[in-house]
Amino acid sequence: MITPGAATTAAIGSLVLTAALLVCAGSASAEPRFSFETTPGKLPKDVVPKHYALRIVPAATYDRFDAEALIDIEVARPVPAIVLNAAELNFNSVRLRASRGDETSLTPSFDPRRETVTLTPASAPIAPGSYRLGIEYSGKIGKHPQGLYQIAYKQREEGRLAEKLMLATQMEPVQARRLFPGWDEPVFRATFEIVAVIDAPLTAVSNMPQSRVELRPDGRKEVSFARSVPMSTYLVGLFVGEMDLLEDSVDGIRLGIHTVKGKRARARYAMEATKEVLHYFNDYFGEPYPLVKLDQIALPGGIVGAMENWGAIAYNEGRFLYDPGEDSLRQQQGVYGIVAHEIAHQWFGNLVTMAWWDNLWLNEGFASWMAGKASARFNPRWGTPLRDALWKDQALSEDARRTTHPVQTPVENDTRAMDVFDAITYAKGAAVLRMIEGYLGEDVFRAGVRGYVRAHRFSSTTTADFWHHLSGASRQDIGKLVAGWTEQPGYPVVKVLQRCENGAAVVTLAQERFTLNDPKAPPLTWNVPVILADETGARRTVLLERDPRKLRFERCGAMLANAGDTGYYRSQYDDRSFRRLVPALSRLPAPDRLRLLSDTFALVQAGRADTTRYLALVENLGAETDRTIWEHVTAALRFLRELIDSPGEQAVFDRYVARLLETPFASAGWDPRPGEPADTPLVRRSLIEALGRAGHEAVVREAQSRFAARAQRPIDPAIRPAVLNIVGRYADPPTFDTLLERMRSAIDVADKWEAQSALRQVRDPGLLRRLMELMLTDELPPSDAVFNLTHIGDDNGRVELGWQFVLEHLPAILAKASPRGRPHVLPDAASAFTDAARADELIALTRAHLEAPALYQAEKTADWIRLKASVKTREARRAIGWARARLGPEQAGTREIPPPLPVRERPSPRSRREGVEQGKAQFAAKQ
């Protein structure tokens, strides 16, 4: 699964306590290999499901469904009752028929908190044997992506906008129990046969191909799907709607991509990517994709990322469709990456499944690593490892805080499973795999992966199973070597100390645990493969264990650790070595430039270096052209800017940022130049965005006039999000209305997101209030509304205003949020604060308004706010002082920049996207 949460979270509370216990147990691999009986979970293991036959009949209103489940079960020993999962289901009847034929009815007793139901016979216990459990029931179809849900979207029909609905499912982690009663824990594998009764003109897609379609006298049809392979409940998928189909095949596997009407052509790129990676994976794993077909569905809403349902992968169309004429390279790269990730899951997760959520990284870390590998292999010019390095950086940041957790983290309660979908599970997991692969070599590593997949296909595993196969392939005890990376929280900083002896260098390497704000963290060590490179480019790999190591190089000079950025750690150089690296910066390969910048900034955040060291490094970038590096730098500058409280000083820092970025922007320019590198448009977008944020007058004016002239000259898609954000930031009421119309009339998710992002930038307090009040209405899908409300403060810098609005309307906003999203409401709205008092307020409010499990997210954000508060005490003055000194007396005054006036527009739509607002006008006329 790809979720927005995967990018922004870490852990606390009970998880941290159990993590501390794990640490005490030492770093040697402590986890046993998979066994069904000892796998954690809340359901008893003496009754197991073998097969589900499900018949789902959605009501015409799409708000509820009727259903029947026939579940074949095996009872291993006499049990007083059968316990399984069910959430918000109403049972009409429950029958249990033994294989010899006698039938009894069972009485259900629901436990809504545990999301279980206990089925009890009238008299004697249930004897061991095979049974068929028959349940007639009904359930809800909601608007949040949980279980079976509806997606509302707009579609252009004969020049008008029509309102449409489709049905989709989202089961992971624990939502299948909202569609059918069952054993909703990953270790309970069973086969499925699904029947859906739907309106005849609609299409239904599920995990398996359709096996029969029968028309009924009432105009509906009954669609039956073939019996599935044995799989976990969280992988079940069912989608119903008016859809277009794009078909193809690869290696004998039938491929289908379903989009809403009219969008099929934009799925062609995803189809090409699918063929490429599916073929590659068939070869890599040595175990072919096991189903006869693979469908992919581009949803016009619902989930924000993607879900790897076996044979029926679901995506938000905003991350899946790609139009070469209208979309950016960034979109194209994103599509490739997400397709590769979800298809990798067909092996890592679907074919071989983690036994329990504590080993989620076996799904997500592996799929993330594999997606990066495939993307880099087939698109060598995209700089995929660098993009992944930015993601790794996010994990390195979360993993250095007080609230971190090990990759393998105990999840004692399945309703808390969602908490582990974070950057540590995904990006640290992937980075650790990359590090091990780099250490063992690609061939040995692949042999281990193949052995693992072959041995555990259609079964479950723990991490110990993977180490076992890797040990077999490499003939060394891999668990002992690497388990510290997955069983311990955090990571080391490698200290590099260089001493010159008669011109030769003696380099001492030593490690200690790196934290941003947790000086009392248990002192751990890791086995770190360190790759050192000297000025001549000579590289040496050493395994740094607990004790420091000394190495000799022929010559003194610049010495780089973690060369190639394949390691998951930070490096800290002695002053002299650092000074040697600064002038060498622009000559280093891009991954090393990024690593040096990022490590230096992390050292600043941790209080191990000061801001001026980082800013000096940035000023040394010269004619840097790499987009990931500018993305890192602009994010770091934004972090520093947030620490400055006074508006006058903010303006000084803004002017410094504007001046700093003018140089690279002068070489990127506004418009594509013939023969420019493919990445340049992405650099352009980052710099325009940052310059707009800093209030650079010429950039703001140009963005506004490009927006005004968009009908005559469509805005280059590569920079359009940045241009719209600037336009939104300085919008007056008419411009605000135009953006609002753009959002309302968008028929593509990507356009809607773009318009919403622009609206969230609005600085004018009156307009901001209008926007937030609109979000309280039912106009937008509830998850969009909540997202906008809780991110407005962060996006436009008016954190206090956004926060107060959220507090004023907290009950209404919490009611709008999904149960899964509710714990994020307050933390998201508070995350841009930089005062410790706000952290306390966040915790107090969470305790007052939410249930205990929500504290987990609040603690993480509170820790982040406190971290920023402590960096502020140390660094805010230094950053301002540096900016003043660089600007010179004329520019360093605390004059604020008045917002430029918007340029008026000249409408006359031309392209598909620029036609969006026209479509809205026609829609209004129809009303």
Per CB under 5 A, residues contacting Zn ion are 1, 364, 367
Q: What angle do CA 697, 698, 700 make, to 5 degrees?
A: 65
- Minimum CB separation of residue 425 from Zn ion in Å reads 9
- Minimum CB separation of residue 305 from Zn ion in Å reads 8
Question: Which segments of 441-527 does DSSP mark as H helices, in order?
Answer: 442-456, 463-474, 478-487
**Cβ proximity of 539 and 888 under 8 Å:** no
| DSSP code, position 380 | G
716-720: long-range contacts at Cβ-Cβ below 8 A with a sequence spacing of 24 or more?
716/671, 716/672, 716/681, 717/326, 717/327, 717/328, 717/331, 717/913, 718/328, 718/329, 718/330, 718/672, 718/681, 718/682, 718/684, 718/685, 719/670, 719/681, 719/684, 719/685, 719/688, 720/328, 720/754
Reference 406, options 925, 732, 17, 138; nearest CA is 17
- Minimum CB separation of residue 172 from Zn ion in Å reads 9
Reference 12, options 842, 871, 799, 868; nearest CA is 842
Structure-block tokens of residue 879: 């950053």
Of 308 and 437, which has the nearer Cβ to Zn ion?
308
- Minimum CB separation of residue 164 from Zn ion in Å reads 28
**Cβ proximity of 212 and 72 under 8 Å:** no
Of 2 and 731, which has the nearer Cβ to Zn ion?
2
Q: What angle do CA 159, 161, 164 make, to 5 degrees?
A: 135
Of 240 and 307, which has the nearer Cβ to Zn ion?
307
Of 367 and 749, which has the nearer Cβ to Zn ion?
367
Question: Residues, the chain, total?
Answer: 927
DSSP for 615-661, please give it: HHHHHTT-S---HHHHHHHHHHHHHHHHT---HHHHHHHHHHHHHHH
**Angstrom distance (rounded) from CA 774 to CA 757:** 15
**Angstrom distance (rounded) from CA 854 to CA 819:** 10
- Minimum CB separation of residue 384 from Zn ion in Å reads 17
**Angstrom distance (rounded) from CA 594 to CA 323:** 31
Q: What angle do CA 504, 509, 512 make, to 5 degrees?
A: 160
* DSSP H helix total and E strand total for the chain: 28, 28
**Angstrom distance (rounded) from CA 891 to CA 662:** 15
Of 369 and 569, which has the nearer Cβ to Zn ion?
369
Of 356 and 514, which has the nearer Cβ to Zn ion?
356
Task: Please identify which of the residues 342, 364, 754, 905 carries the catalytic annotation.
Answer: 342
- Minimum CB separation of residue 907 from Zn ion in Å reads 42
Reference 687, options 637, 735, 651, 649; nearest CA is 637
| DSSP code, position 51 | E
Reference 466, options 408, 506, 514, 411; nearest CA is 408
- Minimum CB separation of residue 1 from Zn ion in Å reads 4
Taking the CA atoms of 268, 269, 275 and 278 in sequence, report the sign of the dihedral they define: negative
Of 284 and 578, which has the nearer Cβ to Zn ion?
284
Give the list of residues 6+ apart from residue 100 with CB closer than 8 angstroms, or none.
Answer: none
Of 367 and 700, which has the nearer Cβ to Zn ion?
367
- Minimum CB separation of residue 355 from Zn ion in Å reads 17
- Minimum CB separation of residue 143 from Zn ion in Å reads 24
Of 108 and 365, which has the nearer Cβ to Zn ion?
365
For residue 689, indicate whether it is catalytic: no
**Angstrom distance (rounded) from CA 200 to CA 214:** 9
Catalytic residue numbers read 342
